[in-house]
Structure 1
Amino acid sequence: MITEIFLKGFIVTFSLIVAIGAQNAYILKLGLLKQYVLISVLLCIFFDFILISAGVYGLGFFIQGNQLLINIIAIIGIVFLCFYSFLSFKSAFKNASLQIDGKNKTNPLKQVIIMLLVFTFLNPHTYLDTVLLIGGIGANIQSDFKIYFLLGAVCASTVWFILLGFGARLLIPLFKKPITWKILDISIGIIMLLISYSLVDLIKY
């Protein structure tokens, strides 16, 4: 029973967070540039723990039963994702490109942390994934076993962000070409639009 619930938490969480979103895209770029990867990965894991915990222990169940709140989150999410999609397309088509040559300017740690906070807590899609979907599933599990679902979810988050942050450097030879950055930014922009479109289905009157 415990193993089954742990695996459920792991599988549900991993299947949702592997999609390239604003937060994942930023971690990928930090990994490629080898900038504050460890602290960024640890912060993302900690943020997921907070949000999923909130969902599993009641908030997810509350949000599921509040259609007006879901509508508000979905609408804000659509606006946020469309704006980030615009920024990705803008980045793809401007002349400047990120260079991986060991001489690129490193962003201050404060700026990196602020960006992670923005992509996590000001991105409504994050709440839909962690609090509503993952948390909502965990909230329906018997109280004594919720901790095992949460542990499975956090393990999935840990595995994913470590793979994303530290595995990104394996792609460095590919991303030394400016065209690859453009393709990545365009792909992220398209994915953001697709995710925002999927949120429309959550809006009900």
Structure 2
Amino acid sequence: MTPATTLVPALLGLLTGLTLIVAIGTQNAFVLRLGIEGRNRVIAPVVAICALSDAALILAGVVGLGAVITAAPVAIVVIRVLGSAFLIGYGLWAARRAIRPGALVVTGARGETGLRVAVTTVLALTWLNPHVYLDTVLFLGGVANQQGSPERWWWAAGAVLGSFVWFAALGFGARLLRPLFARPSSWRVLDVVIAVVMLALGIRLALGH
């Protein structure tokens, strides 16, 4: 096996994976807010959950779980209903937080998100989003399986690496924005953006898009 048969598929997987996860979405918006809060006790497990979840879904796609999902569309419908309800509820929560910054203080001396809330929320944002299954299991898994064997595993490894790199950079790099968010108005703007993202995606899911 030459380096080209391992490095090229891995690099293609890395780039393809990044193109899917870098765009603003529910996970990214939530991780960004936690990263700005700057507490490793919270952000480290959240980053790990996001990256490991992506890894599990990508590998599931490689081993053929996509065919199971395609054969059972009712599962996607159930996930879509639950996911849209959660996203709309979280979006309204973020909107209320933007309107009344002191109204929704979660555990922490400065209103920071507590560990239990953060973990529960990121698990819901990850596993109740049907687009995660469509993009990660079906799309990435399908593209990986087009590479042949064993190249498909190197491709999948690249996609998994991209997920780890992105969420680590987003979560731990967001603290660089903390000087900007020393002003309460900046937090309100961020919460408005998060509310718009969550509500838009939640309504889109509810409409079946």
Q: Distance in 2 between matches of 1:171 and 1:147?
A: 36
Residues 12-64 of structure 1 show CA distances to partners (whole Å, capped at 9, x for unaligned) of 21111112333222222221112223333233222221121112211124334
Partner of 1:178: 184
Aligned runs of 1:14-29 on 2, under 5 Å? 14-29=18-33
d(CA) in 2 for partners of 1:128 and 1:87? 27
- 1:48 aligned onto 2:63: no
* Aligned sequence identity (%): 38
1:174: Cα distance to partner?
0.8
AA aligned opposite 1:86 = L
Cα deviations across residues 145-169 of structure 1 (Å, max 9, x unaligned)? 2211111111111110121011101
How has the CA–CA distance of structure 1 residues 125 and 90 changed in structure 2, closer, same or farther, with 3 Å as cutoff? Answer: farther
Structure 1 spans left out of the alignment, 5+ residues: none
Output the TM-score relative to the length of structure 1: 0.79
Task: State the shift of 1:134 in Å.
Answer: 2.1
Specify the alignment match of 2:147 in structure 1: 141
Of 25-34 and 89-98, deviating more is 89-98
Mapping for residues 100-111 of structure 1, pairs under 5 Å: 104=110, 108-111=114-117
3-state SS of 1:19 partner? coil
Q: Distance in 1 between matches of 2:80 and 2:144?
A: 21
Q: TM-score, normalised by structure 2?
A: 0.78
C-alpha RMSD of the superposition: 3.0
- Residue 30 of structure 1 pairs with residue 34 of structure 2: yes
Aligned length: 201
Which secondary structure does the structure 1 equivalent of 2:178 belong to?
A: helix
8 A Cα contact 1:80 1:124, kept in partner: no
Deviation at 1:178, TM superposition (A): 1.3
Query: In the alignment, is residue 115 of structure 1 matched against residue 121 of structure 2?
Result: yes
- Following superposition, the deviation at residue 192 of structure 1 comes to 2.6
Q: CA deviation at 1:143?
A: 3.6
CA separation of 1:200/1:141 partners in 2, compared to 1, >3 Å: closer, same or farther? farther
Q: Is the 8 A contact 1:61 1:139 kept in 2?
A: no
Q: Which 5+ residue runs of structure 2 have no aligned equivalent?
A: none
Conservation of the 8 A alpha-carbon contact between 1:98 and 1:181 = no
- Name the CA distance, whole Å, in 2 between partners of 1:40 and 1:138: 26
* TM-aligned CA distance change 1:133 to 1:178, over 3 Å: farther
Confirm or deny that 1:3 pairs with 2:7: yes
